[in-house]
């Protein structure tokens, strides 16, 4: 009887140890899967879903399509932010992992305030175009039941334009003269083209740094003072015609 009792205790101890080890392994695997997401993961995921976002393959100036696709997914806010680093709001191009953002300033919607922040972009002309033709707006949205506030880049409703750029798939943006809200995301009649990362109210040091920057400052001054018909780099006049 005593031997059976010891055997039972021994078996229970072995079972408990095995259970603890299994729990640790499962938790470790779960932790690892949640922490293996890197820039390549977000880039590759968007690339794999490209055909669903752009059925005709035309991504010209279609940053709004990326934004709408992402905000409709059941994402955590952290994943939402990271995905929004992997496409250009102005051109609609994917942005390769390892790309550094540009520190820019933008006018705020319906105010004289300047908002500074990071913009992930495919090329420097897109930075200039966004600074001149897009505006910043703070909005809120629930991600997996948690409401978050963040700053977006916006343009006015482009659907009433007589000269809608032919290079852009109008059906992605518009339903007649109204925005196609099945395809794009809008707040207060402002079409959202992307996220402005790490936003802050611009101070004098921020604006000085931007103005003195060789690209965001100097090159953008030249580009933004050039006549539209003479622009031959970046998206050229496509985004400008869409947004002005």
pLDDT more than 70, % of the chain:
84
Domain coordinates of the chain in residue numbers? 39-243
Q: With beta carbons less than 8 A apart as the criterion, state whether 187 and 106 touch.
A: no
**206-235 confidence digits (pLDDT tens):** 999 999 999 999 999 999 988 877 776 556
Q: How far is CA 212 from the centre of its chain?
A: 26
* Residue 71 neighbours by CB under 8 Å, 6+ apart: 80, 141, 185
Give the mean pLDDT of 167-189. 95
Q: With bands split at pLDDT 50, 70 and 90, how would you rate the model's confidence at 36?
A: confident
Q: With beta carbons less than 8 A apart as the criterion, state whether 56 and 174 touch.
A: no
**110-124 confidence digits (pLDDT tens):** 998 999 999 999 999
Q: In the sheet that 146-156 helps form, which strands lie side by side, from edge to edge?
A: 186-187, 190-195, 146-156, 135-143, 102-108, 114-119, 197-201
Mean pLDDT score of the chain = 87
Q: Is the pLDDT of residue 32 over 80?
A: no
Determine the pLDDT at residue 33.
Answer: 40
> Which residue, 86, 71, 132, 109, is CA-closest to 199?
109
């Amino acid at each position: 009887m005593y031997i059976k009792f010891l055997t039972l205790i021994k078996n229970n101890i072995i079972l408990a140890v095995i259970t603890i080890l299994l729990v640790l392994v499962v938790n470790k695997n779960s932790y690892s899967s949640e922490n293996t997401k890197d820039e390549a993961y977000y880039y590759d995921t968007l690339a794999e879903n490209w055909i669903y976002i752009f059925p005709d393959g035309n991504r010209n100036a279609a940053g709004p399509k990326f934004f709408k696709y992402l905000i409709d997914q059941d994402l955590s806010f952290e994943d939402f932010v990271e995905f929004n680093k992997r496409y250009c709001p102005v051109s609609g191009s994917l942005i390769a992992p390892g790309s550094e953002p540009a520190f820019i300033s933008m006018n705020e919607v319906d105010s004289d305030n300047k908002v500074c922040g990071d913009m992930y972009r495919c090329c420097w002309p897109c930075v200039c175009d966004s600074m001149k033709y897009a505006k910043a707006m703070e909005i809120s949205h629930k991600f997996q039941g948690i409401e978050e506030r963040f700053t977006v880049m916006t343009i006015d409703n482009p659907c009433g334009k007589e000269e809608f750029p032919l290079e852009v798939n109008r059906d992605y943006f518009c339903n007649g003269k109204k925005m196609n809200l099945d395809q794009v995301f809008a707040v207060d009649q402002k079409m959202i083209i992307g996220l402005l990362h790490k936003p802050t109210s611009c101070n004098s040091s921020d604006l000085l740094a931007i103005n003195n920057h060789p690209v965001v400052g100097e090159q953008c001054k030249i580009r933004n003072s050039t006549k539209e018909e003479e622009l031959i780099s970046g998206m050229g006049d496509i985004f400008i015609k869409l947004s002005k």
